[in-house]
Amino acid sequence: METSSNHQCRIRTDLGGYITQVDESCRRLLNMTPKGARGKALLSFFVGNRMGIAGEMRRLLDGGTAGNRIATEFQPRDRRRTSVEVGISRPDPQTLEFLFVLECA
């Protein structure tokens, strides 16, 4: 997969990890349109360290603060795996969503 160095992709999910919104820049990484990505389980795209990502989501739900970045592999639909670093946050604890920032090397 061709990506520019340090390409960032922002994905919002509900608290269950289902995609609610993606940046247009995510089209290439996900290999689908932002509209087509809605409702998909984001965790299913992660090949490695799903447990670490799910654990970080739980920690944030329990009131933890963002800051941990997780190195893992991401496999878009019908594409090869790619290495990514994932940052997860809850921009507004009053909303029922997570913000995932995926950075491709």
Q: What CATH code is carried by the domain that includes residue 28?
A: 3.30.450.20
CA distance 101 to 86: 6
Number of domains in the chain: 1
- CA dihedral (44, 18, 38, 74) positive or negative: negative
Task: Please report whether residue 105 resides in a domain.
Answer: no
- Alpha-helical (H) ranges within the chain are 26-30, 34-37, 50-61
Check if the beta carbon of residue 99 is closer than 8 Å to that of residue 90. Answer: yes
Percent of the chain with pLDDT over 90: 58
Task: Please report whether residue 59 resides in a domain.
Answer: yes
Per-residue model confidence (pLDDT) at position 97 = 95
Full-model pTM: 0.87
**Structural domain boundaries, residue 70:** 7-97
Residue 44 pLDDT level (bands cut at 50, 70, 90): very high
Average pLDDT, the chain: 88
- CA dihedral (39, 42, 43, 48) positive or negative: positive
* pLDDT tens figures, 63-95: 888 777 899 999 987 889 999 999 999 988 788
Task: Please report whether residue 102 resides in a domain.
Answer: no
Task: Please report whether residue 103 resides in a domain.
Answer: no
Task: Please report whether residue 42 resides in a domain.
Answer: yes
